[in-house]
Amino acid sequence: MTKMIRLCAVVFLFAISAFAQQQSRSPHDEELFALARTNLTAFAHEVTKNAPTELAQAQAIVKWLADQLEWKATDYKQRTVQEIIDRGGGNCNELAMVALAAMKELHLKMRRVHEINIHTNTPRRGETAHAMVKEKGNSFSVFGRRHNDHVWVEVYDSTARDWFPADPSIGVVGMKKWMPARFGFGKRFSLNPISEDMVAPFAMFAADSTGKFTISRTQHYAIEEFDKLYNGRLHSLSDWKQWTALIELLDDKVGGAFAGKINLHECEAQIDLLAETYEQLRAAVQSK
């Protein structure tokens, strides 16, 4: 009986949240939401009508979706883009699906990115993860006691001739905003209620033409751009060598986990050490 009461309370809170979100929409947002549900092409063009560049278009789409769709916990159900919009939100992968679909209507060049990040130490979560691997295989080792997976998008900037990150779950687009939100040692911006548990990404793979996550972006973000974020100060710190060595080691392991060939839980000691190294880098930077 107690469990039933708790379940009803959770359902009631979700209903209240959805109702409040709907009530807070402006008339223009209501029109856009109706377009998103019925005509994604028209929605994409309308929401980006004042956006002159690929970066601005991605920002307009992600900002609107982040403001209007809720983050919802993973329930392992398969949904179409239309079902995600009708539901009013989804997990990081589902929100990325909607963003990709809208960007596709504008013929933007983009690709999904699957990351593994250092996560707040959660023993019970680790037990669940180990049971999932035992039941369903190594591909479920992408989350565990001290790590978690996350999905976002890269968009190609034809002017800069480079890719930039766009995260529909957290609500940030472009290197200048994404890096501080994901790697920064200080206060971070995020619209994702669980983002505080995601300490820092340590492996990132973009999807290739077949949809498999085989293109490593780890060196670019977790080493090169991380160092740039702090004006090249990190590579002069004593812990930087250990950070880069662990990043390079784990990058290969994560690629194997995505392919279902490696159980990432066997690398828990290295992930723990990486988490400690990140905190040592933080302490060193903040002490100066």
pLDDT class of 151 with cuts at 50, 70, 90: very high
Q: Is the pLDDT of residue 219 over 80?
A: yes
Q: Is the pLDDT of residue 102 over 70?
A: yes
Least confident range of 23-27, 148-152, 218-222: 23-27
Residue 137 CA to residue 111 CA, distance in Å, equals 26
pLDDT score, position 206: 98
Summarize the confidence of residues 101-105 as an average pLDDT.
97
Residue 247 CA to residue 265 CA, distance in Å, equals 16
What are the residue ranges spanned by the domains of the chain? 1-107, 109-288
> Where are the alpha helices (H) located in the chain, listed in sequence order?
2-24, 27-38, 40-47, 54-68, 81-87, 92-104, 123-136, 175-183, 218, 226-229, 240-258, 268-286
pLDDT score, position 24: 67
Residue 42 CA to residue 48 CA, distance in Å, equals 10
pLDDT in tens, 237-270: 999 999 999 999 999 999 999 999 999 999 999 9
Residue 49 CA to residue 67 CA, distance in Å, equals 18
pLDDT class of 223 with cuts at 50, 70, 90: very high
Q: Which residue has the tokens 């591909």?
A: 139
pLDDT in tens, 15-38: 334 444 444 678 888 999 999 999
pLDDT score, position 3: 36
Q: Which residue has the higher pLDDT, 161 or 16?
A: 161
Q: Is the pLDDT of residue 14 over 90?
A: no
Residue 49 CA to residue 148 CA, distance in Å, equals 36
Q: Is the pLDDT of residue 283 over 80?
A: yes
pLDDT class of 144 with cuts at 50, 70, 90: very high
Q: Which residue has the tokens 């972006």?
A: 217
pLDDT in tens, 162-211: 999 999 999 999 999 999 999 999 999 887 777 889 999 999 999 999 99
pTM of the predicted model as reported, rounded to 2 decimal places? 0.88
**DSSP state string for 34-86:** HHHHH-HHHHHHHHTTT--SHHHHHHHHHHHHHHHSEE---------HHHHHH
pLDDT class of 137 with cuts at 50, 70, 90: very high
Q: What is the sign of the dihedral through the CA atoms of 77, 257, 202 and 224?
A: negative
Q: What is the mean pLDDT of the chain?
A: 90
166: enclosing H helix or E strand: strand 162-167
